[in-house]
């Protein structure tokens, strides 16, 4: 981003490091031209960094490793995988193409709803969301491949989804039996189970692989961490070592797992400046509150 930008973001030496700088996020709005393994997953095991992450049992770890090996082998041989654009549901395809252009992307244009249009008719709010991260439900259900026909625990399944999403255009879909699974298209019908020979008590996981991911895998291209991202990872490692991942005593964020942003703002520099001010105000208010009891 041009340093002369009216809303250029200036880093505060006292603020916690972040995996994504506003400039790096702005670049996510551009088409990707060279397929490469991503710098972070597009999904994470737990979005709420305050929740404690339980370690896996040995059995769950073994199942997870087996699933990851199966996926890696499937990806390595997916030479006929279609481009990401051909995997998308028709309802999101045009919004995706607006971002991808002649390349590909992890994002699609996000259309404002009626409430947002009423609140900001000109759509000029710099903090308004303009792009949304592609997810598993943006893929046509018929393009998912039946790969994992054994149970993964919920936590192991989330870690497997992280592993899969490190490759552009790759997703894992847990096919359960619950009403929630049915409401969002993930439920495996009795007919499907019978055809695949899957017992009713087994929650399987299907995957989808894109042509871009196959090219990235076979070429060995990897998106390298930037210097600021390396600094963040060192900072996060220190936080983990001192047991301060999640929310600290003052309620201020400390780093969780790095991942691609779910939404992109109209002006990332302006949005970052705004949220940094909110965080500072909140921290000051909490400090003042605790000072009252000293």
pLDDT in tens, 154-203: 999 999 999 999 999 999 999 876 655 544 567 888 888 888 888 888 88
The counts of H helices and E strands in the chain are 11, 8
Question: How confident is the prediction for the chain on average, in pLDDT?
Answer: 84
pLDDT band at 125 (very low <50, low <70, confident <90, very high): confident
> Rounded to whole angstroms, how far apart are CA atoms 161 and 136?
10
- Who wins on pLDDT, 120 or 238? 238
> Rounded to whole angstroms, how far apart are CA atoms 119 and 123?
9
Contacts of 167 (CB under 8 A, 6+ apart): 37, 38, 75, 209, 210, 213, 216, 217
Q: Does residue 15 carry a pLDDT above 90?
A: no
Contact at 8 Å (CB) between 8 and 194?
no
> Rounded to whole angstroms, how far apart are CA atoms 56 and 156?
7
pTM of the model: 0.84
Nearest Cα to Cα of residue 267 among 97, 23, 18: 23
Burial of residue 284 (CB within 10 Å: 0-12, 13-18, 19+) is exposed
Longest Cα–Cα distance in the chain: 68
> Rounded to whole angstroms, how far apart are CA atoms 24 and 30?
11
The H-or-E segment that residue 13 falls in is none
Give tens-digit pLDDT for 227-265: 999 999 998 888 878 776 665 544 555 677 899 999 999
Nearest Cα to Cα of residue 95 among 109, 113, 111, 112: 109
- pLDDT score, position 178: 61
Contact at 8 Å (CB) between 88 and 96?
yes
For the chain, domain boundaries: 1-28+225-294, 32-222
∠ CA 275-279-283, rounded to 5°: 170
- pLDDT score, position 145: 95
Rounded (10°) angle between helices 58-76 and 211-219: 90
């Amino acid at each position: 981003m041009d340093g002369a930008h009216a809303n250029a973001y200036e880093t505060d030496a006292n603020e916690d490091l972040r995996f994504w700088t506003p400039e790096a996020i702005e670049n996510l709005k551009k088409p990707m031209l060279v397929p490469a393994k991503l710098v972070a997953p597009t999904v994470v095991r737990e979005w709420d960094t305050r929740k404690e992450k339980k370690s896996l049992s040995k059995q769950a770890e073994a199942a997870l490793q087996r699933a990851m090996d199966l996926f890696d082998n499937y990806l390595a041989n997916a030479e006929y995988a279609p481009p990401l654009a051909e995997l998308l549901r028709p309802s999101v395809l045009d919004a995706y193409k607006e971002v991808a252009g002649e390349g590909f992307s992890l994002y699609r244009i996000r259309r404002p709803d009626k409430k947002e249009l009423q609140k900001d008719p000109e759509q000029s709010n710099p903090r308004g969301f303009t792009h949304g991260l592609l997810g598993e439900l943006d893929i046509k259900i018929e393009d998912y491949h039946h790969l994992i026909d054994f149970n993964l625990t919920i936590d192991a399944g989330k870690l497997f989804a992280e592993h899969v999403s490190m490759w552009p255009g790759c997703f894992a879909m847990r096919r359960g039996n619950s009403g929630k699974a049915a409401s969002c298209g993930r439920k495996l019908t009795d007919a499907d189970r019978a055809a695949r020979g899957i017992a009713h008590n087994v929650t399987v996981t299907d995957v989808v692989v894109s042509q871009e991911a196959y090219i990235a895998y076979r070429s060995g291209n990897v998106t390298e961490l930037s210097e600021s991202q390396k600094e963040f990872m060192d900072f996060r490692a220190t936080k983990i070592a001192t047991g301060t991942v999640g929310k600290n005593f003052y309620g201020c964020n400390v780093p969780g797992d790095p991942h691609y942003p779910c939404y992109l703002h109209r002006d990332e520099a302006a949005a970052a400046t705004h949220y940094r001010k909110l965080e500072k105000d909140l921290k000051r208010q909490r400090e003042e509150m605790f000072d009252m009891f000293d």
